[in-house]
Each structure stands twice: as structure tokens, then as C-alpha cells.
Amino acid sequence: MLPIITEETTAEIFPEVFQDVHSWRKNMVQYIKGENPEINTAILEIAKYDESIDLKAVALGAYLTYRLLEVATDNDNIGPLD
């Protein structure tokens, strides 16, 4: 079961991301390569799938989602969505 992404989680992560999106995305590439290289490969492959898709935007969204899920899991926000 996936963790619930709370407003508190997004309030914690968004400032980290949006302070310098370009640098944050580049750092996440390196971080995920070490943590879960299969996920990183999947993100890059789907982003390259269609030339009309913005690779950087796809990667940013995927890395943001990964980070939100990671923090929510660490905060034990796991439970059913009611």
C-alpha cells in the first residue's frame, strides 16, 4: 500500500524542490541512481519515449513523486484513503 501524501508532506518538500528546480532535479538523478537505479532507468526511458514530451518536465514530476512517497513512508503516513 502506498503512503498518503499529506499537506504537511508537500509543505516540507515543495520549498526544497522549488528553491532551485534545475539543481534539485539534477541532484535527484544522482540520488535515485544510488537508491533505486531501476526506477531512474524507467523514468528516463518513459521520458524519451515520445519526442514531443519534455524530458525535464517528466523527470521532475517523477522525481517529485518519488520524493513525496519517500517522505510520507518515512513519516508512517501509510493507510487507506477514506
CA distance 62 to 29: 10
pLDDT band of residue 82 (cuts 50, 70, 90) is very low
In DSSP notation, 5-71 reads: --HHHHHHHHHHHHTSHHHHHHHHHHHHHHH-HHHHHHHHHHHHS-TTS-HHHHHHHHHHHHHHHHH
Q: What is the pLDDT of residues 19-74, one digit of tens each?
A: 999 999 999 989 999 999 999 898 888 877 777 778 888 889 999 999 999 999 88
CA distance 66 to 34: 14
Question: What residue segments make up the domains of the chain, in order of their start?
Answer: 7-74
